[in-house]
Chains A and B, each alone.
Chain A
Amino acid sequence: MDLFEYQGKQYFSRYGIAVSPGDVADTVEEAVAVAERIGYPVVVKAQVKVGGRGKAGGVKLADNIDEVRLHAGNILGLDIKGHIVRRIWIERSSDISKEYYASFTLDRPNKTHLGMLSAQGGVEIEVVAEENPDAIAFLSIDPVRGLDIETSRRWVAEANLDEVAREQAAQILVKLYECYTQGDCDLAEINPLILTPDNKVHALDAKVTLDENASYRHPEWEEYRATETEDPREKMAKEKGLNYIGLDGDVGIIANGAGLAMSTLDVVNQVGGSAANFLDIGGGANADVMASALEVINADPKVKVIFVNIFGGITRVDDVANGVLEALKRVKIDSPIVLRLDGTNAVEGRSILAPHLSNKLIMEPTMLDAARSAVAFTK
């Protein structure tokens, strides 16, 4: 789950990482109240989960109440690459002497954590990595040992951060690592980490991605979940506990297992169709999950046919079959359903459905046959 900048900053604050004083606003009046409280000049920043806000007019400096009113009014409701701005962040404007970059993420090939630190912040790190890779100091961190302050001090020196910034930066990096690990982040990034003319170091931006597998130990994430602006189809699926991603085609997909679900999209594409979604009903899906999955797909007006592709392992095909019947009882499914069922208890599953097969409930022997049969309904 990606956080908005303001949520990332609030998350940083929990771990003692200094950020600019500020607050969120959903209306012009709230924005004015925040600005009056924290003092001018302020920066008004659109809260969207997409890059390039500045260029799109989503970040503005305001020296007084009239400017706050003007910019807040313009930015609220602004469309930035398809993301409508519903909330803004107002913070005290900072004078900047230097901009640095710092982040922690998982180094998958080495199965360690990877810290990246650069004295050239404020621009996209991918660009720095491309044009001037020596400007990034990489630090491989053993997850068992973690990051101590001594290592952090050596690291800021290696990255050539300005002398006056080093001790503060080293302290912030240790806190950022704590935020990354204890806070269960997939990514914790500060870009830029700034040095001000009065020699203070603090985070001017926050990019945080949380590992949703860890949500059971983070009740505080509930508020972040509430603000997730997502596809209404994805929202409905999430409420039903399904792993769903909305796409643009017209073949509704239900599969068990991420790999098979991905493969189903690929195969549908290869036979000339286009998937309306990715939906993995997961391991051990029961009848109720299957019924919910059909309901979610059925609610998508673009869907012309539903392709159910199941290879039972931990999921039992008889449960899936019962789920299909359950769904047909519970809701009126408008589109034809094409099924391909194999694996654990497949014989039982197929025989449960056999008496119900029709020209709207079709069983095919293989994945490719089923894909062709499903795509034929969309032509």
Chain B
Amino acid sequence: MSIFVDENTKVIVQGITGGQGRFHGLRNRDYGTKIVGGVTPGKGGTDVDGIPVFNSVKEAVAATGATASFVSVPPKFAAAAILEAAEGGITFIVCITEGIPAHDEAITYNRLVEEYPGVRLLGPNCPGIISPGKCNIGITSGDIALPGGPVGIVSRSGTLTYQALHELSQQGIGQTTCVGIGGDPVPGTNFIDCLAAFEADPETKAVMMIGEIGGSEEERAAEWIKANMTKPVVSYIAGVTAPPGKKMGHAGAIISGSKGTAQAKMDALREAGVFVCANPTEAGQKMVEIVRAM
């Protein structure tokens, strides 16, 4: 099984007529994802390579029965697009947009929780989600993922998500689902959400968790793992050599004072029984070992 999406998930692309929305939306469709429509205000009635375009999410949902949306719009419009998706009846929103102001994210997150409690937001500033062979929403290159499980992947970083997929696929180890939660300060979906879903998914036998400096999500995940997780977890944390006080690319990746260091995160995870590795390759090898021994 997969988490959050599967082969039947119907997806619309908000911003499908933009360069990135078009490129990745079509790639997702080529992968086999049920991309059933697109939304661009003012362009309703047209199509993008056969995918019908609607003026609003509401129209798109009514016409297609979509339950998921891939939001690929500029930062200025992203918060409104996410809320429009929730308002329009979408229950799983993947937002890849990078550069949304933190205050917009905080308001959007809390409005979703308060007004649309059944809606899950993945991202913003994330690579999306892929259930190999079933569904790919976002910017992950489908050919680096391998269907069939048994590993679930959750990661704060986009490119390190690809790296993790690549390390496993090359060794013939498949994935159930790979979730990129994104590197922003207010992610819609966090490590614990994904760990809990993987723990509950019978086909996922082990989980790879990739974190990075900043915030305390990894420490919280460690506590959760210690209390609830029965499946093995392998982890890699990026940013051991990152200097304090500098935002390492992601808005959320900053060591402030003694908080948010890679070392503290690795210690917390190790203490929770997680296999903590020094680099993505080592993490891949450790996971291969664990899966082969099953």
Contact = CB atoms under 8 A, between A and B. Distances in A.
A261 interface: yes
Contacts of B48: none
A262 B239 contact: yes
B234 interface: no
B216 A313 contact: no
Q: How big is the B interface, by class?
A: 35 or more
A262 B163 CA distance: 13
Contacts, number: 177
A72 B247 CA distance: 34
Interface stretch (B55-63, B107-115, B196-204, B224-232): B107-115
Interface residues of A, number: 51
A168 interface: no
Contact of A259 (B212, B220, B251): B212
A160 interface: no
A132 to B, nearest CB: 18
Interface string B207-222: 0001011011100100
A9 interface: no
A313 B220 CA distance: 29
Nearest to A283: B98
B103 A211 contact: yes
A314 B103 contact: no
Contacts of A216: 75-76
Contacts of A93: none
A111 to B, nearest CB: 5
A106 B257 contact: no
Nearest to A313: B139
Interface in B75-123: 75-76, 96, 98-104, 106-107, 109-111, 114
Contacts of A111: 106, 109-110, 186
Contacts of A266: 238-241, 278-279
A269 B240 contact: yes
Closest 7 CB pairs of A and B: A259-B157, A258-B249, A257-B159, A260-B159, A214-B101, A259-B160, A280-B249
Given A278-B242, A311-B159, A314-B96, 8 more contacts: A143-B103, A257-B159, A258-B183, A259-B253, A262-B241, A263-B236, A278-B246, A367-B280
